[in-house]
Amino acid sequence: MPVPNQISFDTEVKPHAADLYDYAAVAETIDGLDSITEADIARYHEQGFIAVRNAFSPKEIQSGLDGLADLIAGRVPEFQNIQFTAEVRDRLDSLSFEERMDSVRRLLYFVDYEARTKAIANYPKLLAVVSRLLETEATMFQDMALIKPPNGREKPWHQDHAYFELTPQTKVVGVWIALDPAGIENGCMRVMPGWHRDRKYHHFQIRDLQICDSEMEGLQANRVAVPLEPGGCLIFDSYIPHGTPSNFTASRRRALQFHYAAVGAQKITAEERVAFWGGEANNIAC
């Protein structure tokens, strides 16, 4: 289904439980995309993710931030696919640029409007790593920018594959790139290492399309936090449960996220996706 290219607004949601993103360990990182070894590739398959520091240079990250700033400021008027927080619905046009930046939740499908972000998505060293992981030529099929401003809301636990109109068997690699320091307190990623294997969760529309909180409660011992400096990235399997808590700081936490699959990956319909992944559609209670 085509995604409408238009401004939208988030809905107000209840806060998450205080311990929903507690974790037992912090992820180790590999230094640079060039350093990824066959052992790291094996670890990706085993754990469902790898984290890389210094994957992109400060100049490349600044170009990504500049690209997003142009899109958010409306300097590319043909691009409208920005979701703002609910509380600015009635006053969007009166916001300063900084206030507008801090009212964005996400941008979707922008790279065809903005060359600097497209260059990051198609960065040859990144594509080479993703193709190694997929064991075939990779193509990017979804681009998103996640802006978690001060007090920004959570992204509840989910598996990205539940969002895609691709067969459940399709191998998908996600790449989440930090544009600001992403730390424990401002909402860095949390993942469940190894939980991408043979696990499929029904997803429910609660605070977002998500795994039921009760499935994720009490699993602190199984969780790893992935703090990253700007230019670092998390490369992850689309079946790994992951999420990010609210941003409890005054620091922005902006990120780019791209998803890649094999060229020609087999699609399913929206109805087939819901029938496979949807909790409500399968009459399951959350």
Ligand X SMILES: O=C(O)CCC(=O)C(=O)O
Q: Rule CB under 6 A: which residues touch ligand X? A: 144, 146, 148, 155, 160, 187, 242, 244, 255, 257
Minimum distance, C-beta of residue 90 to ligand X, in the bound complex (Å)? 26
Taking alpha carbons only, the member of 255, 262, 263 closest to residue 56 is 255
Taking the complex as a whole, the smallest distance from the CB of residue 269 to ligand X amounts, in Å, to: 21
Residue 90 CB-density burial (10 A; 0-12 exposed, 13-18 middle, 19+ buried): exposed
Q: How far is the CB of 212 from ligand X (least distance, A)?
A: 17
Of 103 and 244, the one with the shorter C-beta distance to ligand X is 244
**Residue closer to ligand X, measured from CB, 35 or 151:** 151
Q: Minimum distance between the CB of residue 26 and ligand X, rounded to whole angstroms?
A: 17
Alpha-carbon span 32 to 197, nearest angstrom: 26
Q: Which amino acid is at 26?
A: V
Q: What is the 3-state secondary structure (H, E, C) of 178-208?
A: ECCCECCCCCCEEECCCCCCCCCCCEEECCC
Distance CA 109, CA 6 (A): 11
Q: Which two tokens stand for residue 36?
A: 């990824």
Which C-beta is closer to ligand X: that of 18 or that of 285?
A: 18
Tokens of 75: 């300097």
Whole-angstrom distance, CA of residue 65 vs CA of residue 29: 23
Closer by beta carbon to ligand X, 192 or else 255: 255
Minimum CB–partner distance for residue 143 and ligand X (Å): 11
CA distance 170 to 247: 32
Closer Cβ to ligand X, 155 or 252, answer by number? 155
CB 210 within 8 A of CB 284: no
Q: How far apart are CA 40 and CA 42, in angstroms?
A: 5
H or E element that contains 264: none
- Minimum CB separation of residue 255 from ligand X in Å reads 5
* Residue 3: CB minimum distance to ligand X, A: 14
Closest residue to ligand X, Cβ-based?
A: 146
**Nearer to ligand X by C-beta: 135 or 150?**
150
